[in-house]
Amino acid sequence: MDINSLLPFFDKYGIKGVLGLIVIYFVYSIIKLSWFDTFIKEMIDKYKNKKSKSVVNNDITDSDILNHDIFNYIDFWLYSKIPTIQFSTEYRTEIFRKYLTIYLKKHKENMHKYITSKNFQEMDGFENGLFATAAFDVFNMNLDLID
C-alpha cells in the first residue's frame, strides 16, 4: 500500500474514506500476525475453562436415584390410589387391588436391587437416560390402563 494507490480513493471518498481504509488495513495486518492468533486461542481456552468450572457435575449417585420421584409416585399409588379403586364386584376390586399392590411393591424392590448393585454406573449417559425414560414410560402406561 503506497500513497499513489490512495490518491484515487482519496478523490472519490475523501479523508474519512482513506482513514477508514488505513484502519481496515491495520486491523487486517494485526489479525494475520501469529501472536494475535495465539492470543485469541488462549482467550478462548480461558473462557472454555471458566465455563467448564461453572458447570455442575452431573454424575448420578445412589441417593439421587433413591430419592427420585418414581419411588414417591409408587408410594402415592400404593397408599392413595389403589385403596380407592372400585370395580363392579367386591371380588374384582379386592383381586385387582392385591395384584397392583404386589406388582408395585415388587417393581420398587427390583429397582432398589438394581440401584444397590450399581449396574447403572456401567451405562453411559445416553443409555442411562433411555433406561430411566423407558422405565418411567412403562410404569405410566400400566397406571394409565388402570385410570
Same domain, 42 and 74: no
Q: How many separate domains does the chain show? A: 2
Reference 103, options 132, 74, 125; nearest CA is 74
Per-residue cell: 93: 376390586
Query: In this predicted structure, what is the pLDDT of residue 120?
Result: 64
At residue 109, does pLDDT exceed 70?
yes
Across the range 19-34, mean pLDDT stands at 81
Same domain, 70 and 103: yes
Angle between helices 3-32 and 34-54 (to 10 degrees): 40
Query: In this predicted structure, what is the pLDDT of residue 125?
Result: 54
Residue 68, SS3 per DSSP: coil
Query: In this predicted structure, what is the pLDDT of residue 147?
Result: 52
Tens-place pLDDT, residues 39-52: 888 888 888 877 66
Report how far residue 146's alpha carbon sits from residue 141's, in angstroms, rounded to the nearest whole number.
9
Confidence at 104, pLDDT banded by 50, 70, 90? confident
> In this structure, is the dihedral angle defined by the CA atoms of residues 126, 142, 67 and 62, taken in order, positive or negative?
negative
Domain span including residue 80: 62-146
Same domain, 43 and 72: no
